[in-house]
Amino acid sequence: MKGMTLIVKKTTQLIGGMIFMYGIYVIVHGHLTPGGGFAGGVIIAGSMILVTLAYGGDFMKLIREEAGTTIVESLATLMVVFIATSGFFFGTRIFFNNFLPKGIVGHLISAGVLPLYNIFVGTEVAASIFIIFLSLIIYKEESSQ
Amino acid sequence: MELAISIITGLMILGALYAIHAKDLLSSVIACGIVGYSLVICFLLLGAPDLAIVQIVVDTITLIIMVAVVLDSSREELYSKQDLQGYISAFTGLVLVLVLLYFFTVSIQSLDLLGKGSLRMAEYYIEGASQKTGSANLVTGVVFDFRGYDTLGEAVVLVTAVLGVLTILRIKGKK
């Protein structure tokens, strides 16, 4: 897949990292401000789609990227299930138990396991949307060959 | 505020109607964007910033992917013909609209105003939720603590969608 012009590439260099950092901010502050895993994950996927569209990429490189992203997505989903199951072994024996100390409401490190759920769900959503985009590009490249 | 929401809802209906009847697929996709972004303004007016953030980001990315797909396919409508089936569909639609309007006028008299009434379960969630879950954002507390199973289901739905896309979009396996 071919990249775009020099203007688009320079603009992407300037704002791509900032969009990525904003996605991480939305995910990490999900238990304090509006937003959370789903919104932040889609923002991160948007920044990666922006970079891929602006710079293009080799066919083989895209396929490698897709394989890595698939592994990340599966691991993140497994981690969500793992945290939910590990609540079973502490305190009241129920699924989705909030077993870590709650802390002070309003601090960054508080709310027990909720920030961990936010982080892993955000990773999973970002990887899922990026995989859908990559597989569309790879299908086009393959069918044009 | 109700006037603003009514105007935006009317705009959404117009956009959806145009998206169905447009001759060019690209303008149809952009008319779908009108529906999505108007929904964002509705969410903001009704006081739901969490939903508005998710909707605006997802709508932008969906629009990018749809435009990229439309630019690579045949955009123009290939054949259009008017026959008996179209008239039958229009008649059925009109009858359905009348029946639904009747039931709407009957049922609206026993409903509360928009956003006024709340369920017993919702009151339990709102009362002291930040003390129970430790989260300052009530939505995250509900989504990941009280309704953890729902969120797990949503995540699994996304994984299943990705599996479906990967299964359909491959050329090697088809040969």
- For B17-61, the pLDDT digits (tens) are 898 888 888 888 889 889 999 999 999 988 888 889 889 988 988
Residue B174: the pLDDT is 59
Q: How far apart are CA B150 and CA A17, in angstroms?
A: 32
Could you tell me if residue B49 is inside a domain? yes
Q: Which residues contact B107 (CB under 8 A, 6 or more apart)?
A: none
User: Per-residue pLDDT for B82 more than 70?
Assistant: no
Token reading at A28? 């990490």
pLDDT in tens, B136-158: 778 888 888 788 888 888 888 98
- Phi/psi for B76 (5° steps) reads -75, 155
Distance to chain B for A18, nearest Cα, Å: 16
Q: Which residues contact B173 (CB under 8 A, 6 or more apart)?
A: none
Considering the entire predicted model, what is its pTM? 0.82
Could you tell me if residue B127 is inside a domain? no
Are A36 and A118 a contacting pair, CB within 8 Å?
yes
Our CA angle for B11, B17, B23, nearest 5°, is: 125
Our CA angle for A66, B55, B62, nearest 5°, is: 40
Q: How many residues does chain B have?
A: 175
Could you tell me if residue A58 is inside a domain? yes
Q: How many domains does chain B have?
A: 1
Could you tell me if residue A1 is inside a domain? no
Judged by CB atoms closer than 8 Å, whether chains meet at B136 and A143 is answered as no
Q: How many domains does chain A have?
A: 1
Q: How far apart are CA A57 and CA A1, in angstroms?
A: 6
Residue B122: the pLDDT is 74
Residue of A nearest to B51 (CA): A35
Residue of B nearest to A43 (CA): B57
Could you tell me if residue A129 is inside a domain? yes
Could you tell me if residue B70 is inside a domain? yes
pLDDT in tens, A95-130: 777 777 777 777 777 777 888 888 999 999 999 999
A116 touches chain B (CB under 8 A): no
Instruction: Return the closest-CA partner of residue A43 out of A55, A57, A27, A32.
Output: A27
**In a 3-state reduction of DSSP, which class is residue B76?**
strand
Could you tell me if residue B43 is inside a domain? yes
Could you tell me if residue B57 is inside a domain? yes
Enter the ipTM.
0.81
Q: Which domain range does residue B28 map to? A: 1-76
Q: Please report residues of A whose CB lies closer than 8 A to that of B152.
A: 80-81, 84
Token reading at A116? 């961990």
Instruction: Return the closest-CA partner of residue B49 out of A99, A2, A29, A34.
Output: A34
